[in-house]
């Protein structure tokens, strides 16, 4: 069957306690597709309550601090997130790289901190439209991955998410060929650093994945799932993506 598909919703700054019914409903969808690993990275305010209603889905966080504790007002350590129920965390999302000025070194440190706290990591990388139009996308994103890669990176706790910045929330996506080329380049970059272990690392696609395009995207050889934004906010929209992942696994079996 190859690498198990990983489908993760990133709720970003969305969701109140009234939306926990959707967490429960998504957990039920996950239970119906046990061959797909399904999770939701929730706002910090919902992690504990979401954990209690997660069903077969895991609960993740959207960010963590690189230090265990300290004078960092408004920040949350990986240990705090783990205690609340998070078993995964997103690091390096473009919205934090761009709006919060997070560097590759920051992201690598956060990823190490998460791993040390027993939390798995989804490390995000991606390019701007200017880089894509300049024909430099694969090199720039591969370099970004290597510069952000934490020490000791291994498939049992690290996944990579490719998110073309210009596709996030816009409804635009790269061509199937462009996604395939990028994911192959990321696999090769990983192999240059961690050798044969790279073949086990799951590389997700993030950037306007939805029920209409998920099957095509997850049919690409090096696409091992998705990091999904708006389409993960309700079970009705998220379920077709999970189902598409399951169908691709079945076809490959």
Which of 33, 37, 79, 93 is catalytic? The answer is: 93
- 229: annotated binding-site residue? yes
- 237: annotated binding-site residue? no
Cβ neighbour number for residue 130 with a 10 Å cutoff: 10
- CA 41, CA 91: separation in Å to the nearest integer? 11
Tokens matching residue 221: 């050889």
Tokens matching residue 72: 């960092």
Specify whether 24 is catalytic. no
- 12: annotated binding-site residue? yes
- 195: annotated binding-site residue? no
> For residue 10, which of 165, 233, 234 has the smallest C-alpha distance?
233
Which of 95, 138, 163, 243 is catalytic? The answer is: 163
- 208: annotated binding-site residue? yes
Helix extents (H) in the chain: 20-32, 47-52, 78-84, 94-99, 104-116, 129-133, 137-148, 176-194, 214-218, 235-252
Cα separation values, 197 from 43, 151, 157, 202, 249, Å: 32, 14, 12, 11, 21
Cα separation values, 137 from 153, 173, 177, Å: 23, 14, 13
- 11: annotated binding-site residue? yes
- CA 207, CA 217: separation in Å to the nearest integer? 11
> For residue 247, which of 206, 220, 208, 218 has the smallest C-alpha distance?
218
Please give the angle made by the CA atoms of 117, 121 and 123, to the nearest 5 degrees. 140
Specify whether 95 is catalytic. no
- 101: annotated binding-site residue? no
Catalytically annotated residues: 93, 163
Query: Which segments are annotated as binding site?
Result: 10-12, 169, 208, 229-230
Query: Which segments are annotated as binding site for substrate?
Result: 10-12, 169, 208, 229-230
């Amino acid at each position: 069957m190859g690498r198990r598909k990983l489908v993760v919703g990133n709720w970003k700054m969305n969701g109140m306690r009234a939306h926990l019914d959707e967490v429960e409903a998504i957990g039920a969808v996950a239970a119906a597709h046990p061959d797909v690993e399904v999770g939701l990275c929730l706002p910090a305010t919902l992690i504990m309550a979401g954990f209690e209603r997660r069903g077969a889905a895991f609960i993740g966080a959207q960010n963590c601090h690189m230090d265990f504790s300290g004078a960092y007002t408004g920040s949350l350590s990986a240990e705090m997130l783990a205690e609340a129920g998070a078993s995964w965390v997103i690091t390096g999302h473009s919205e934090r790289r761009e709006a919060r000025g997070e560097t590759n070194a920051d992201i690598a440190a956060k990823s190490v901190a998460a791993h040390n706290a027993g939390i798995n990591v989804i490390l995000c990388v991606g390019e701007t439209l200017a880089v894509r139009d300049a024909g430099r996308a694969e090199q720039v994103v591969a370099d970004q991955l290597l510069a952000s890669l934490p020490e000791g990176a291994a498939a049992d706790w690290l996944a990579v998410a490719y998110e073309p910045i210009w596709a996030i929330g816009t409804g635009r996506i790269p061509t199937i060929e462009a996604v395939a080329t990028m994911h192959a380049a990321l696999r090769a970059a990983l192999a240059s650093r961690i050798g044969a272990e790279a073949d086990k690392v799951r590389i997700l696609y993030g950037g306007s994945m939805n029920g209409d395009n998920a099957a095509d995207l997850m049919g690409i050889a090096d696409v091992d799932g998705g990091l999904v934004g708006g389409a993960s906010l309700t079970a009705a929209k998220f379920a077709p993506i999970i189902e598409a992942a399951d169908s691709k696994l079945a076809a490959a079996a």
